[in-house]
Structure 1
Amino acid sequence: MDAIIQAISRSTGVKPDVLEGGVNLFGAYPFAALYLLLPRSTPPIYRHIYSIVVASILTSSTFSMSTVLHMVAMSATTYLTVHILKTPYMPILLFLFNMGYLACNLIYWQILAASSAQFDQTIPLMVLTIKLTSFAWSVHDGQMPIETLSAQQKTAMIKDIPGIIEFGGFVTWFPSFMVGPAVDFHDYHNFTHGLPPFNNIPSTIIPALKKLVSSFFFMGLFLYIGPKFPYRVMATVEFASTYSFLGKFGYLTVAGFMERCKYYVAWGLSDGASTLTGFGYGGMNKDGTHDWTRAQNVNPVELETAENAKAIFESWNKKTAYWLRHCVYERMLYRGDKIKGWATLATFITSACWHGYHGGYYFGFASGSFITNSGRIARRHFRHLFLPPSSLAPFKPIYDFLGWAITITLTNYSTIPIVMFALDTSFKAWKSFYFIPHISMLLVMLGFNYLGWGRYTHRLSRVFGAVEPGVKKRGGGDGKDTSKDTSNSNSKHSNGLKQASNGHHTNGNGASSNGTGKMTDKEV
């Protein structure tokens, strides 16, 4: 197998560790098929043992024995602590321990060992960190008065600490333990015990095959087109001098998509294997169709067609966003709304530390915050110009297209340092684009926030008969604000949380739900 992987690596330019990781992700499918053959009457304990054994096989064939030891150390410490430490600070201490343990591994692999591997042992540890910290909070919530809990906390709370075998099956759930998404213990328990909605799972074969075919499609693009558009080329003198202005942005668009294909493959394979076992089943939709998105970590179609930053962040790395919101942001808000700003800052810092310690990550995340803020400002001042009763309403499709082109370009541009890691090469690449995206976003924020540019869009509103955000339409009947700008303070913080998890982590991050707050109308 090693010889085959090396041969494919030489012909495609894809690193061997990435190819080997893909092979082992696909290796979960045969085990998922065997799991599907287990009779429904199979006791949960045997399902837990099956997951532990399969995960051990996949881990030993992908990583070193030290990876297993690290996972055991983190899991055992967490399990013993929730049993012994009965204080409100238990989940906080375990959060610090697991994040610190992960940080030590990330610092070693990314800085001390200067590893260039993109599929190393830090990946399952990242997923495990999400699982263990979420588990600790759920145990804590199970001991709290029910009236003090949010709806999400009531659903996820754990009243009785599970046995060691069930806990082991949970942390090693084999379809997704390597790259995510991180499963919630409540979902895992219900699944292995055949509780709703898992008590009546329809055939999983067709949904799983669809996800597998989709993964192979993106794999083909990544293997055969991706090597022709590497990000590192954008940091060269040849790129800066030979490509035209539009040619540079065209190259960036293709390169960004190819980079994302790598994650579409990894998360798609994991999603497909989980779906095959039945775990990906989410019940019935309102329209009577079956939902198969429980194990989905990314929605490629929605992401690639996103017309705004909000849609990007809701479609990418869902489980991590869910974790950041419910285990960091909302836990800090427990002390009051006055610390919303600090809660958002803590969420961004947690996300950055969870992703790693390459300098490029932090510049990439900072640039991502520019996208969020400038996009919100632009929406507030321009979107209403293309909505009824404005005379520009027929041109809304053009506005939507421009929103897509600008959003995807800014996303690809801001992730350059996240992909390249190093600051020197990242700035060389940004320099090739003359820092135009950064300058444009800064101008939008400065112009509308401090220079009074809003007066110009106000005049345009009057010229074209548009209703500005916060202004009531005449003859509205009930007098309600029919053009309300939903970019309020809650939306701002919610978008910030989704953005915090958006890093295209080339070390292959784990995973989460977009449990962040949603705006009430479509943001463009």
Structure 2
Amino acid sequence: MGLEMDTMASAIGVSIPVLRFLLCFISTLPVSFLWRFIPGTLPKHIYSAFSGALLSYISFGFSSNLHFLVPMLMGYGSMILYRKRCGIITFFTGFGYLIGCHWYYMSGDAWKEGGIDATGALMVLTLKVISCAFNYNDGLLNEEGLREAQKKNRLLRLPSLIEYIGYCLCCGSHFAGPVYEMKDYLEWTEGKGIWSFSGKGAPSPYGATLRALVQAAGCMALYLYLVPHHPLSRFSEPIYQEWGFWKRLSYQYMSGFTARWKYYFIWSISEASIIISGLGFSGWTDSSPPKPLWDRAKNVDIIGVELAKSAVQLPVYWNIQVSTWLRHYVYERLVPKGKKAGFIQLLLTQTISAVWHGLYPGYIIFFVQSALMIAGARVIYRWKQAVPENKGLAKKFLDLIGLAYTLLVLNYSCVGFLRSEALGLSLAAFSVAVPYLGKFLKGSSTLVDEPILPDGNKQIFAMSESLSGVFKEDLAWGTYVLLKNTKTISVLISVQGGLCVRGYWSIPEDVSSASVLDWFETQIQQYGLSDLKETLYFPQSEDDGVWKMVPKGTCSLLIQPVLGTHELSENKTANKTKGFILVASSVNYAYTDKDRAWIGAVANKF
């Protein structure tokens, strides 16, 4: 079986852990289909809980699944012990534990290195337990003062433990969602509410399921076609820095467009799984004869996203169920009674959404920027409202402006989200429009003094080819930050067998571009830099030693070792050199404490 998994994983180009997850994810379809044939309410709850737990165990392993128990037990315990405040208690404890797991796993690193962790499923589960607790809390309140969503979803009784577990793990829906309400789950399982089909049979889900599967296949086909032409790794390659403004902007646009089809595929599979179980049913149309609606599991409206006339519409079309959750359990609950929501509520909601996704700077950049994007869209909307009704052409023109604004800003800003593990790549992408963002983030009221670029040097950006994509991005981030935020004209990072050289260097004329890295490796070995234990700082130029490898006109040179630790015995450790960072400047006494702080931060990254 292990050999078969290895062969299959190699055939489709993924690791075995990711393949195992994908198989479990696809298995939610037959598991959900079989739910329809389980007789009785209690057996259905047991089946929901057991099937979800089994798929989760196969996908993530035993220890990872223990993480699911923590928010589930904290949420259920708060409902038992302190109903009056169980919603807010579960919110902070659930999010607190999720943030802790994000920090511990730095969610996304395992995926990018071919592994997998359970934080994605934990994200969905966290939303479920929080909404359940809030709705049980709302069951104590007078109905007159509640919003429509609160009236619809409030719980008057405490769900039993087996109902609660079944809701949390039902048919593996915690893999990728969608998020749904406890009241809907209970009515679906018990055949009540809109699932009470007395007098007429239950509608067939097979046509809607087939539609979702065909959509999933089309999305994956388009993604596989586009991704080789617009890989996200291009942002860390030297060629990207050589492109002009319009080419870089268009590449960012196409990268964002390409990446979305992967999410469309995942959500289409999830939608098909929930539809075929029956939970995806959402009512009947008003037509004659009435037709069934299957919108409960819908997580994305592809046409709506790609042709949105306003950024305000994006939450309505993209990640629909999570957007609905954020509106009901964050945005609306932040608004004081009798007042209207404003930009602060929007910004806080987007910040919570960013933290829910993970702790990478790219997430924060994207979601905070999305709040600004939505605020900008509202300005365009006000312009449109100010146009008289008889000026139809002007209104259509503003619709086109809104469409162009939405697509441009969305695809521009999502680069930070998609390449979330490297702040440097986000800054490199954003440097198309904000070239001094790195210096602004430094907090200085003025730009860093620009060093003089000596004659006889040429600009290069070279990196070892044999490194993983993630490692290349880390090296690109490190060199970018140092060049932008210190008085450096040349930077070299040699760490863990990888080498990245960037800036202005004096390369001998007989060294070809293909041999540049080999030349640097020879210099590193010649001067013994790989075994450096302490920082070397030369505030003024010298004539011998390592100065022979640095660029012409260098006046200050700093070399900082990158140190790790290794165990000598059970209670003793020692520092071990993992590499070094070399920075050179054309300014005397260039590296102040503030500059060294930047250099130290980059060294600590490795």
Pairwise same-fold verdict (TM > 0.5): yes
Tell me which residue corresponds to 2:417.
418
Tell me which residue corresponds to 1:90.
86
Q: 1: CA distance between counterparts of 2:247 and 2:234? A: 13
Shift of 1:25: 1.7
Q: 1: CA distance between counterparts of 2:344 and 2:403? A: 31
Q: 1: CA distance between counterparts of 2:258 and 2:19? A: 15
Shift of 1:102: 0.5
Q: 2: CA distance between counterparts of 1:82 and 1:337? A: 29
CA contact (8 A) 2:282 2:295 kept: yes
CA contact (8 A) 2:366 2:414 kept: yes
Normalised TM-score (structure 2)? 0.65
Shift of 1:395: 6.6
- Of residues 356, 373, 376, the one that matches 2:378 is 376
CA contact (8 A) 1:71 1:128 kept: yes
Structural mapping, 1:114-513, within 5 Å:
116=112, 120-200=117-197, 201-242=202-243, 245-287=245-287, 288-334=290-336, 337=339, 342-381=344-383, 385=387, 388-390=389-391, 393-394=392-393, 399-421=398-420, 422-431=422-431, 433-435=432-434
Shift of 1:394: 4.0
Shift of 1:17: 5.5
Corresponding letter in the other structure for 2:189: T
CA contact (8 A) 1:103 1:356 kept: yes
Tell me which residue corresponds to 1:52.
49
1:383–1:241 distance in 2 versus 1, CA, 3 Å: farther
CA contact (8 A) 2:90 2:130 kept: yes
The structure with the greater share of residues assigned to helix is: 1
Shift of 1:388: 4.0
Corresponding letter in the other structure for 1:34: L
1:310–1:94 distance in 2 versus 1, CA, 3 Å: same
Summarize deviations over 1:16-66 as a string: whole Å, max 9, x none: 65554333221111112222334xxx2111111111121122112211212
Number of residue pairs aligned between Structure 1 and Structure 2: 425
1:376–1:112 distance in 2 versus 1, CA, 3 Å: closer
Tell me which residue corresponds to 1:2.
5
Q: 1: CA distance between counterparts of 2:417 and 2:95? A: 20
Summarize deviations over 1:131-176 as a string: whole Å, max 9, x none: 1111111111112222232221121111111111111110111152
CA contact (8 A) 1:176 1:271 kept: no
Task: Give the gaps of 5 or more residues in structure 2.
Answer: 438-606
Tell me which residue corresponds to 1:469.
none
- 131-140 or 141-150: bigger deviation: 141-150
Q: 1: CA distance between counterparts of 2:270 and 2:107? A: 28
Corresponding letter in the other structure for 1:211: A
Q: 1: CA distance between counterparts of 2:261 and 2:245? A: 25
Q: 1: CA distance between counterparts of 2:188 and 2:37? A: 15
CA contact (8 A) 1:218 1:262 kept: yes
Corresponding letter in the other structure for 1:360: G
1:99–1:237 distance in 2 versus 1, CA, 3 Å: same
1:234–1:399 distance in 2 versus 1, CA, 3 Å: farther
1:338–1:293 distance in 2 versus 1, CA, 3 Å: closer
SS of the residue corresponding to residue 204 of structure 2 reads coil
1:16–1:417 distance in 2 versus 1, CA, 3 Å: farther
SS of the residue corresponding to residue 171 of structure 2 reads coil
1:36–1:308 distance in 2 versus 1, CA, 3 Å: same
1:395–1:234 distance in 2 versus 1, CA, 3 Å: farther
- Of residues 101, 105, 112, the one that matches 1:105 is 101
Shift of 1:340: 5.3
Q: 2: CA distance between counterparts of 1:150 and 1:382? A: 30
Bigger relative CO (Cα 8 Å, ≥ 6 apart)? 1
1:157–1:334 distance in 2 versus 1, CA, 3 Å: farther
Shift of 1:75: 1.0
The structure with the greater share of residues assigned to strand is: 2
The root-mean-square deviation of aligned C-alpha atoms, in Å, is 2.6
CA contact (8 A) 1:20 1:62 kept: yes
1:286–1:111 distance in 2 versus 1, CA, 3 Å: closer
Corresponding letter in the other structure for 2:56: T
Normalised TM-score (structure 1)? 0.75
CA contact (8 A) 2:124 2:177 kept: yes
Q: 1: CA distance between counterparts of 2:135 and 2:45? A: 20
